[in-house]
Structure 1
Amino acid sequence: MEPLSSYFFSKFQHPTNIPFPSTAANHLLTPLRPPRISPLNFSSVRNEERPQESETITIQPLRKVTKCTGQLSTKRSSIQGTELVETRLKPSLFTFIFNSLDRFIAEFLDPPLRPSIDPKYVLSGNFARVDELSPTESEVIQGYLPSCLDGAYIRNGPNPQFIPCGPYHLFDGDGMLHSIRISQGKATFCSRYVETYKYMVERRIGSPVFPNLFSAFNCLAASLVRCAVTAARVLTGQFNPINGIGLANTSLALFGGNLFALGESDLPYAVKVTSEGDIITLGRHDSFGKPFSTMTAHPKIDSDTGEAFAFRYSSTMPPFLTFFRISANGIKQKDVPIFSMKKASFIHDFALTKNYAIFPETQIGMNLSEIIKGRSPMGVDPNKVPRLGFIPRYAEDESEMWWIDVPGLTILHVINAWEEDDGNTIVLVAPNVSPVEHIFDNMDMIHFSLEKITVDIKAETVSRHPVSTKSLEFGVINSAYLRKKNKYVYAAIGAPMPRAAGVVKVDLTLSAETECGGCVVASRLYGTGCYGSEPFFVPREPNNPEVEEDDGYVVTYVHNENSNQSSFLVMDAKSPSLDIVAVVKLPGRVPYGFHGLFVPESDLNKL
């Protein structure tokens, strides 16, 4: 998330900028440590029959870190032609002073913490942090794993490396990937941190160094002192913000020949899932050519062209929105700054059709004056009217962009969008958040109303049609239908989010006003005390265009809070009750988190 990062950290530069590699060919990517592989003894389960080269994307390898042994020292080594910096630290006087100041701020300057930023509440139950888990055999305790699931399902989410000292918001956690590697009906589970620059710096020092951007700035006195401490950490060389401050804790995406872990406060981090099921962080995407650059956690990949369309937003200075695309071979194209967005807005996701990119400008933004009142700078402007912005996909500038006011519409996630009537109509499918003022503080009060939004381009009018009375978020479709008219949506039932009490299947061709139960045609509740995450649809025959849209499986992680046991659940996407096809008992707990991705075996082999 990007509320303060680009502005705040751009004010500080390390006095002696430590050299940091900026480019590396894909075949020269050097992992931070050797692959961590454990012997695998798979359980016996039912099996089924197993049914262009591109230009290299630029990756910035992270620093190679060795065990802390003594005083500060820096040496360089050349590994496969790529220069890495090897830094060794032991707890210093500066570290002791800064950590003491952090404790002083938390104890004496912070106001009483709201539950939404109090780690005692935020990190309770299945939101509590977990340690990394090496690849471990996982037992299929019910059913079988279909052959189309050969590959890896990976879910991202926040998991702080250290117990926070002071305020902490769920969005502030370090990214951790929970992967289940499936091959010939056998499963291997693994949990690994995304080894971001932030994660590696704090692991080396042994304590938190970077401020929690969503929670640390909640009153004037504490905010000013935290800013001073952070500046001092930079000036004394504890970290260099030009190398990135992001968490990579939000989602995953596959484009440009790489698998990326994403978080919108930084650039993407390339990761790899090995044949043994381990997860390795390869490095930070570094082809943008601008310090302090960021990218959305929700790029849209056009399966026909292989391009990825993306954006970044700024909370402090124009342009508040910048649109760009990445070619099929991983090369970032020209920025299109959007100056017609006059105020900063929290734009987390966007939509893509055959001809347009669509941006939902919301009432959510940053107001630094709120810090004086003891509140988070992230808040809601009730006087701002939400809008939808439309720009051609291949626009050279914003001259062809136009906006339509849509009062009461707050979109955080977009499920799909397509064009009808020879391109004169755009249909957008997305949950509307209400009441928006509680989005960061009290998810219990939030309702996600899944809507079908129709835009008449010529008349510049918008009509909205709710498709269910349930609170539905984290919606997904068969990815082959992205940008195209689709029929089915699979969405999580909020309990509240990011916990999901179950999953539903929605038929967008039905009328919510006339159909009993709205447009929901199938559902499954996980049971008392059992909650899941975002569902994901995996087609049964991904390369067969003749199969029906819903011919496949819905997968997700589910946690039983009664037994403290996490499982991987596979459901039949066509059945009226989303019948269970397989349950895999996981050897480690999976905390509630954000977005996931299934990567087929064929794509894993190309990474």
Structure 2
Amino acid sequence: MKSHSSFIVSVSKRNNIEKVQETRITEKRSEQGSNHTHFDLRKSLVENLFVMLERAIIKFIDPPLHLSVDPNHVLCDNFGPVDELSPTECDIIHGSSSILSSLEGVYIRIGPNPQFTPNGPHHYFDGDGMMQSLRISKGRATFCCRYVKTNKYSFEHQVGSYIVPNIIGGMQDLGPFLARVVLYNARAILGHYDMSKGFGVANTNLAYFGGRVYALCESDLPYEIKVKDDGDIITLGRHDFNGKLTLNMTAHPKVDPNTKEAFAFRYWATRPYLTYFRFDANGNKQPDVPIFSMKQSSLTHDLAITQKYAIIFDIQLGVDPMNFIRGRHLISVDPTKVPKIGILPRYATNESEIKWFDAPGINILHVVNAWDDIDDDGSEVIVLVASNILHVEHFMERLYMTEPSMEIVTIHFGTGTVSSKSMLIDNLEFPVINQAYVGKKNSLAIQVFYSAINEKTPTKTSMRRTLGVVKLDIFASENNKDKHKHIVASRMYGENCFGGEPFFVARDPEDPNSEEDDGYVVSYVHDESSGESKLLVMDARSPSLEIVAQVKLPQRVPYGLHGIFIREKTFKKI
């Protein structure tokens, strides 16, 4: 096990591929689909016509693809899609019965996994949602891999080809995008696609609230899913909460561990640019609170809650339909915009009490946690721990250059100012905490969270791979001048082994005396040399995050995005 300093230094070595990442592909994808110009006799004449028109767009209208939306580049190696797999029993390589009993339930991670090989522009985030689940029960582990059966997935599966224009990759240039929209609308008019049933991909995150589990993506409504006793995963359908939820919803709702309420929002390209709302403990959606005081579009990905407030972010990354006319990407960065943080009472019924704070240089992507506090002068403050994108201008085309910084942000009510302190700038992402501490401060002298640590520069794709996991103490001693003082434990996955988001599972969540880090950190890890994937179970209290159990998985597990663990007791209630 390397020391914390050498651990960080080892991942900061850059590969000599900067020039490759910056260049554009200058050749048309004339080879793609060139051997498939004949009619498919299994399809109708109209459907074959649509396919021919799509190929014409690719050949004659699409510009040369940037590497960030070239499917041959984006979907290589373990970022590439896999097939569905029915429930399959796995080999538990090692792990005691007491450890396995603490993990009884189901761990699910979700991520983009296109069901068809894209021909046109395709961003990694455009892929259909695929769930990779591991059910542990009575000492046995069962793995399953299923698509979220969204409206988009189901219809395209029936037709056998892409139908819906990619939300991100397809919006790079006006001409090709309009051509695809015309084609898409033609299908809808002819009854080949029902737009009212949604067009999202449900590929970003999973959440449990109101007694239900949802697959989420911020381009659509949630899709309810269910894990069966045999480990299989089924999609129950798109959920609009009795007609009270419209358009879309964040993929990162926050659930209060005590009240069981969920707090969420949606953003849009037109006013109101952001709308806040919440769900009661039974999952009943409460009325919308439109935030008209937000003056510009913001691609707000996450929010935070405390015991008193909801915290929203107005960042420099936004969506502007006029960009098409200006010859820019739909999603772009406004460098002149001053980011803001909005503080709203959790139970607000309108935006009259919202307070906005200028937060220069703070573009929040993922939130670790937040809590209410008092400063040395006795004034009210909110402390926020989150991942800040230092170079947001690279978010769409050069994601590996965004350089996230894990920061402690303090919002001062008395002075109306925001201050921030960087804990670490070492490509830390996918932070997770013990979910029992959401929205509150630990009363002890420590407060910890876990984060994936990514390679500095990707070797083959525009997405960075995860080299290991670190445990950080937010309240590390101020007297310690080591730049890595907040790191209290770490583990690298080994040569040519890469993981994804870690997830914390408490050993005994019902024990009131258990400490915040009393539990396990779990993650899927893939060995690119052998092609094998495993679930690693690490002791969250060990200085080396010692591996205490491993499960060998029956097929490759792509790196994916976010996940959830649902305990057996909760599982039985769903």
CA shift digits 1:194-229 (9 cap, x unpaired): 011111111111111111010112223212211211
Unaligned ranges ≥5, structure 2 = 1-40, 457-462
Q: Is 1:307–1:325's contact at 8 Å kept on the other side of the alignment?
A: yes
**Residue 135 (structure 1) aligns with:** 87
Using the alignment, how far apart are the partners of 2:485 and 2:333 within structure 1? Answer: 31
Is 1:350 matched up with 2:303? yes
**Residue 254 (structure 2) aligns with:** 300
- In the alignment, which of 533, 540, 565 is matched to residue 532 of structure 2? 565
Using the alignment, how far apart are the partners of 2:216 and 2:479 within structure 1? Answer: 38
Secondary structure, aligned partner of 2:88: strand
Q: 1:503 to 1:92 in 2, by over 3 A?
A: same
**Residue 544 (structure 1) aligns with:** 511
**Residue 60 (structure 2) aligns with:** 108
- In the alignment, which of 343, 358, 361 is matched to residue 405 of structure 1? 358
Q: Is 2:100–2:136's contact at 8 Å kept on the other side of the alignment?
A: no
Amino acid of the residue matched to residue 466 of structure 1? S
- In the alignment, which of 545, 553, 559 is matched to residue 586 of structure 1? 553
Is 1:438 matched up with 2:398? no
Amino acid of the residue matched to residue 107 of structure 1? K
Is 1:493 matched up with 2:453? yes
Q: 1:291 to 1:542 in 2, by over 3 A?
A: closer
Q: 1:511 to 1:291 in 2, by over 3 A?
A: closer
Secondary structure, aligned partner of 2:536: strand
Is 1:241 matched up with 2:207? no
- Which deviates more from structure 2 when the two are superposed, residues 491-500 or residues 568-577? 491-500
Runs of 4+ in 1 over 4 A off after TM superposition: 372-375
Is 1:121 matched up with 2:73? yes
Secondary structure, aligned partner of 1:416: strand
Q: 1:369 to 1:395 in 2, by over 3 A?
A: closer
Amino acid of the residue matched to residue 383 of structure 1? T
Q: Is 1:363–1:384's contact at 8 Å kept on the other side of the alignment?
A: yes
**Residue 389 (structure 1) aligns with:** 342
Correspondence list, 1:136-285, <5 A: 136-144=88-96, 145-285=99-239
Is 1:424 matched up with 2:380? yes
- CA shift, 1:286, in A, is 2.2
Correspondence list, 1:519-534, <5 A: 519-534=486-501
Q: Is 1:190–1:278's contact at 8 Å kept on the other side of the alignment?
A: yes
Q: Is 1:468–1:512's contact at 8 Å kept on the other side of the alignment?
A: no
**Residue 29 (structure 1) aligns with:** none
CA shift digits 1:227-256 (9 cap, x unpaired): 211111111111111111111101111111
Using the alignment, how far apart are the partners of 1:228 and 1:512 within structure 2? Answer: 59
Normalised TM-score (structure 1): 0.83
- CA shift, 1:454, in A, is 1.0
Using the alignment, how far apart are the partners of 1:449 and 1:335 within structure 2? Answer: 32
Secondary structure, aligned partner of 1:413: strand
- CA shift, 1:407, in A, is 0.8
Using the alignment, how far apart are the partners of 1:504 and 1:333 within structure 2? Answer: 38
CA shift digits 1:164-211 (9 cap, x unpaired): 120000110000000000012221111000011111111111111111
Secondary structure, aligned partner of 1:227: helix
Using the alignment, how far apart are the partners of 1:373 and 1:469 within structure 2? Answer: 35
Alignment: residue pair count: 518
Q: Is 1:214–1:376's contact at 8 Å kept on the other side of the alignment?
A: no
Using the alignment, how far apart are the partners of 1:541 and 1:292 within structure 2? Answer: 38
Using the alignment, how far apart are the partners of 1:438 and 1:252 within structure 2? Answer: 27
CA shift digits 1:94-139 (9 cap, x unpaired): 2111111111111211111011100000110001110001111111
- CA shift, 1:91, in A, is 2.0
Using the alignment, how far apart are the partners of 1:157 and 1:423 within structure 2? Answer: 42
Using the alignment, how far apart are the partners of 2:126 and 2:477 within structure 1? Answer: 40
Using the alignment, how far apart are the partners of 1:298 and 1:90 within structure 2? Answer: 41
Q: Is 1:138–1:586's contact at 8 Å kept on the other side of the alignment?
A: yes
Q: Is 2:400–2:464's contact at 8 Å kept on the other side of the alignment?
A: no
Q: 1:498 to 1:597 in 2, by over 3 A?
A: farther
Q: Is 1:567–1:585's contact at 8 Å kept on the other side of the alignment?
A: yes
Using the alignment, how far apart are the partners of 1:392 and 1:292 within structure 2? Answer: 23
Using the alignment, how far apart are the partners of 2:487 and 2:180 within structure 1? Answer: 48
Amino acid of the residue matched to residue 417 of structure 2? T
Q: 1:480 to 1:498 in 2, by over 3 A?
A: farther
RMSD over equivalenced CA pairs, Å: 1.6
- CA shift, 1:512, in A, is 6.4
**Residue 427 (structure 2) aligns with:** 471
Secondary structure, aligned partner of 1:415: strand
